[in-house]
């Protein structure tokens, strides 16, 4: 990802203050629009023959739809930013794990890591390695016993 190579990852996203400002603006606009909508809804349905009420009601309904679409777009922007951040964090986590593995291998080559290290991650990986080597030794011992046993039975015949 080219985004990860830049100096500051946050420069690629909209600032939270901008999104909050837009949300606050919508939050301030919505109550008066809803009040007008209620008022003109009643006027329009009580007196449908007046074209003035009809035009005012249609105008308020358009304002309400515009505000709703702006809120939807803002919500969509937040979701997209959140998804991008999650992808970047996942990618960074993968890179960190690769670097940890590389660091562990380099420490082993240098002989820095011993099994009495206090770091929990190192201890866990050391115990995993000890378990894997003991597991392989047990299988090797089992197969060698089978081979020796079969060769002894063939010699005794």
Look at residue 109 and tell me whether its pLDDT is greater than 90. Answer: no
Residues 55, 105 within the same domain: yes
Looking at the structure, tell me whether residues 54 and 98 fall in a common domain. yes
Q: For residue 68, what pLDDT band results from cuts at 50, 70 and 90?
A: very high
pLDDT band at 130 (very low <50, low <70, confident <90, very high): confident
| Spatial CA neighbour of 84 closest among 7, 5, 10, 6 | 10
pLDDT of residue 47: 87
Per-residue pLDDT of 139-154, as tens digits, reads 999 989 989 988 888 8
Q: Quick check: 113 and 124 in contact, CB under 8 A?
A: no
33 and 75, same domain (yes or no): yes
In terms of domains, do 32 and 100 share one? Answer: yes
Domain count, the chain: 2
Q: Two tokens at 75? A: 């919500």
Residue 112 φ/ψ, nearest 5 degrees: -75, -35
Q: Do 76 and 103 share a domain, yes or no? A: yes
- Say which residue, 112 or 83, is predicted with more confidence: 83
What's the rounded Cα separation, in Å, for the pair 8 and 148? 64
What's the average model confidence in pLDDT over 117-138? 76
pLDDT of residue 117: 46
- Per-residue pLDDT at 115 exceeds 70: no
Q: What is the dihedral of CA 30, 36, 39, 42, to 10 degrees?
A: -80
Model pLDDT, residue 67: 93
* 47 and 124 fall within a common domain: no
- Minimum mean pLDDT range among 37-41, 47-51, 87-91, 111-115: 111-115
Is 9 contained in some domain?
no
136 belongs to a structural domain: yes
Q: Domain residues for 58?
A: 14-113
Question: Residue 8: inside a domain, yes or no?
Answer: no
Which of 99, 100, 95, 93 lies closest to 125 in space, CA to CA?
Answer: 100
Based on the fold, state whether residues 38 and 105 are members of the same structural domain: yes
Do residue 19 and residue 60 come from a single domain?
Answer: yes
Q: Which helix (H) or strand (E) holds 119?
A: none
Any idea what DSSP says for residue 14? Answer: -
**At a CB cut-off of 8 Å and minimum separation 6, what does 122 contact?**
104, 113
CA–CA distance, 25 with 14 (Å, rounded to integer):
17
3-state secondary structure of 8: coil
Query: Residue 14: pLDDT band by 50, 70, 90 thresholds?
Result: confident
- Does 78 share its domain with 135? no
């Amino acid at each position: 990802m080219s985004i990860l190579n830049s100096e500051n990852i946050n420069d690629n996203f909209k600032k939270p203050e901008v999104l909050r400002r837009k949300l606050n603006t919508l939050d301030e606009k919505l109550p008066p629009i809803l009040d007008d909508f209620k008022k003109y809804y009643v006027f329009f349905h009580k007196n449908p023959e007046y074209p003035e009420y009809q035009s005012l009601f249609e105008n308020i309904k358009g304002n309400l739809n515009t505000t709703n679409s702006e809120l939807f777009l803002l919500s969509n922007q937040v979701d997209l930013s959140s998804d991008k951040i999650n992808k970047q964090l996942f990618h960074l986590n993968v890179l960190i794990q690769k670097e940890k593995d590389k660091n562990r291998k380099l420490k082993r080559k240098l002989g820095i890591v011993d099994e009495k290290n206090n770091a929990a991650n190192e201890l866990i990986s050391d115990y995993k390695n000890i378990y894997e080597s003991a597991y392989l030794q047990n299988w090797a011992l089992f197969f060698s016993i089978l081979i020796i046993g079969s060769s002894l039975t063939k010699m005794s015949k």
